[in-house]
Copies of this chain bind each other. A is one copy, B any other.
Amino acid sequence: MSLDLRALFEPRGIAVVGASTDLGRIGGQPIFALTEFGYQGAVYPINPKYPEIRGLKCYGSVTEVPEPCDVALIAVPAKAVPQAILDCGVRGIPFAVVLSAGFREVAGGEQAQRQLDEAIARSSVRVVGPNCQGLLNIRKNVYCGFGAPFQNPHPHSGGVALVTQSGGFGYAVLGLAESAGTGFNCVVSTGNEADIGTLDLIDYLLDRDDVEVVATYMEGIVDGRRLIALGEKAHALGKPIVVWKVGNTEIGRAAAASHTANLSASYELYRAAFRHPGFVPVRDVDDLVDVAKAFANRRRPKGPRVGVMSISGGAGVLLADRCNEHGLQLPALSAPSLAQLKEFMPEFASVANPIDVTAQIFNDLAMFRRALGIIIRDPNVDQVIVYNASIQGATAARLAHELTLVAAETDKPVLVGSSAPPGKATEALEAFAKANLPCYPTPGRAAAAAAALHAFWSAPSTSGKIERSVPRADLPLGEGALSETEAKRFLQAYGIPVVREVILTAEEALSGKAALPFAFPVVAKIDSPDLPHKTEAGAVRVGIGSLEALAAATRDMLASANRYRPGLRVNGISVQEMATGVEMLAGAVNDPYFGPVVVFGLGGIFAELFSEVVHEFAPFSIETARRLIRSTRAAALFDGIRGQEPLDLEAMASTLSRLSHLASDHADRIAEIDINPVFVRPMGQGVVAADALVVLKQEGAPR
């Protein structure tokens, strides 16, 4: 259940605490906007200095405000904010929007923040901010904030809600997107998120009937699992969360940390989250505008196949490039469609997809309608892009009319590309807008929007009950890291295959007389809880071919490990089979914001060289594990490349799912897990973990 924030966005009355007679000041701007732009509720200026402001009775304290009052807009200095919140509580005002700055975002603001947090807790007033720029409900003329978006009435509204962690830039985005035609309704800047946070707001806004798209400018959130759950909710509702995430690079993160004092979790985990259903990542204002437009008419492509109809062969090439880059397909039309098209298309037209119908067709409305109808109805086509280059004026308007008529006969998405310069095809653009057909100025932008539609609607849900692929097993007691042998036994308890091994005492290994249950060559390692990095310590030897060589290797390893870590505890000498197969890496981390996460990718130096690892949130099913493997570039190995046998996908998927349960079951105690390498063998021959590291959380360590 989301918080009920209806009274916050549709308040019957608003108190402006710190109201100013100077309508240019932060405490004055809302007085002006709330009285000037058609707000229907009551406005109560609060300031003991004045009897009235702008003809409104002014109150000495928020405790004196009459009914009804749902929101207090607070614009007093930081030190006075906690009392104002307490006063709101006394008066029974359920929501406050705190514009004031000077809390944890500034050096020395920690105390003010603490006092604010206490006031919130004691008053049970729900708070947006502090250090935010405020809140808008454009349809209801609620202008609760300061800065450019609050100083002029918004000329139009629409189905897009915006939640922004950057006040200044968020409102810049709002202004640019509105100029580009995007219609917004509820907009809110979240500031320090002392109480109501970005995710609370997204959650509520998704529930609003007047919201079709929730856009968010995000620096960082603290509850990664809730973010993913909100994506599932968005997907189920058919309302995308259009997410513009910043603070993605090391340097960006440093800046983000100093800005909102929120630590960003690593962008890799956000990327993994955004691959879950419900999210459409964007990178700039135009993307946001384009995506919002694509989702406004609720048409849903059933697959990745796009029919492209273009007047320009050159643009057709570009559309083909871009659709392909985005993973869309341009299939040939069905034979009956091709036959029908060939009946009337000029001989120099191309009926291959992209379909270059030529200027002749665009100049003949009957032919245009007929060609478009054939393409739209084709069973090989899930959505259609029609590109008319820079056709202008009355010709463009006539084509637009035909286009909207044909599009009305299908529920497939129809995206229009029209590169007429601004003002040269106004009537046509209005026709598209009226028919709710998204129209884009360049082919590349149309292709990106088509790709966003496909990605949103094809994302497989990962919510719902996850069938356990393995029962819970106990984690050995202890601290620090498990020894390799302990770690492997723990993996085995979760059904993860490990290499055969035998633990010899040092004496047995040195004797040259041990009996081994498997053939040479073998690997020998010192088994010790004190050596998480055995290779560095010289405590691993591979390719040992005889008992004598084993004795020599043991001598060397003990000497070198004792130099590396004097007085180390030796559980024994682990002698292991030499595993074969393709070297992969599996592991898990326990992120403070996203919880236990499984990591998978190529092993060895390639993991590092190509950063080719993917992440999935634990626990997950075998089916999700299969998709995870298929999403990597290593996927080709599981299909068999260059005549090699395909690798054992099922065994790898099962291992990853089991690992996810292991990580999830013991998230309270496990910090990280490394299975590196895990050798993957050809189909039917399974996988085998050749090394394992399980690092436990430090007792009492902060999350």
Query: A residues touching B (Cβ–Cβ < 8 Å)?
Result: 101-102, 105-108, 148, 164-173, 175-176, 178-179, 217, 219, 246-252, 254-256, 258-260, 283-286, 311-318, 320-321, 323-325, 330, 347-348, 350, 352, 354, 356, 359, 389-390, 392, 419-424, 441-445, 536, 605-606, 608-610, 612, 633-634, 636-637, 641-644
Contacts and interface: CB of A to CB of B under 8 A. Distances in A.
Given A311-B168, A390-B175, A352 B255 contact: yes
A320 B389 contact: no
Contacts of A608: 636, 641-642
B389 A169 contact: yes
A347 B442 contact: no
Contact of A250 (B312, B324, B389): B324
Nearest to A256: B317
Given A179-B422, A637-B605, A643-B536, A166 B248 contact: no
A424 B175 contact: yes
A175 B419 contact: yes
A20 B316 CA distance: 31
Contact of A175 (B176, B420, B536): B420
Given A317-B259, A354-B255, A178 B637 contact: no
Given A169-B312, A258-B352, A246 B318 contact: yes
A312 B256 CA distance: 11
Nearest to A172: B419
Nearest to A220: B317
B172 A312 contact: yes
Number of copies: 2
24 contacts: A164-B314, A166-B312, A168-B312, A168-B389, A169-B312, A169-B318, A170-B314, A172-B315, A175-B419, A219-B317, A247-B321, A248-B321, A249-B320, A249-B324, A251-B323, A252-B317, A255-B316, A259-B356, A260-B313, A285-B419, A605-B637, A605-B644, A608-B636, A610-B612
A536 B643 CA distance: 9
Contacts of A633: 609-610
A503 to B, nearest CB: 28
Given A251-B321, A258-B350, 15 more contacts: A102-B348, A168-B359, A169-B312, A169-B419, A171-B390, A172-B390, A176-B419, A176-B421, A217-B314, A251-B320, A252-B321, A254-B352, A255-B352, A285-B419, A605-B637
A442 B606 contact: no
Contacts of A108: 347
Contacts of A283: 444
Contacts of A312: 166-169, 172
A301 to B, nearest CB: 18
Contacts of A219: 314, 317
A288 to B, nearest CB: 10
A176 B259 contact: no
Contacts of A389: 168-169, 171-172
Given A175-B419, A251-B330, A314 B148 contact: no
Contact of A173 (B164, B311, B419): B419
Contacts of A442: 176, 284-285
A688 to B, nearest CB: 20
A110 to B, nearest CB: 13
A330 B253 CA distance: 13
A316 B259 contact: yes
Contacts of A102: 348
A4 to B, nearest CB: 28
Nearest to A441: B176
A443 B283 CA distance: 11
A107 B316 CA distance: 19
A167 B390 CA distance: 11
Contact of A634 (B165, B311, B419, B609): B609
A330 B168 CA distance: 21
Nearest to A168: B312
A473 to B, nearest CB: 32
A312 B250 CA distance: 19
Nearest to A417: B172
Contacts of A148: 390, 392, 420, 424
A677 to B, nearest CB: 13
- Top 9 closest pairs, chain A to chain B, by CB: A166-B314, A168-B312, A172-B419, A259-B313, A252-B321, A169-B314, A106-B348, A249-B324, A179-B421
B324 A252 contact: yes
B107 A347 contact: yes
Given A148-B392, A175-B420, A259-B316, A246 B352 contact: no
A172 B310 CA distance: 13
B321 A246 contact: yes
A255 to B, nearest CB: 5
> Which of A251, A354, A612: most chain B Cβ within 10 A?
A251
A164 B315 CA distance: 12
A605 B645 CA distance: 13
B324 A251 contact: yes
Nearest to A348: B106
A178 B109 CA distance: 50
Contacts of A609: 633-634, 636-637, 641
Contacts of A324: 249-252
Nearest to A219: B317
> Which of A317, A320, A420: most chain B Cβ within 10 A?
A317
A173 B173 CA distance: 25
Contacts of A170: 314
Contacts of A217: 314
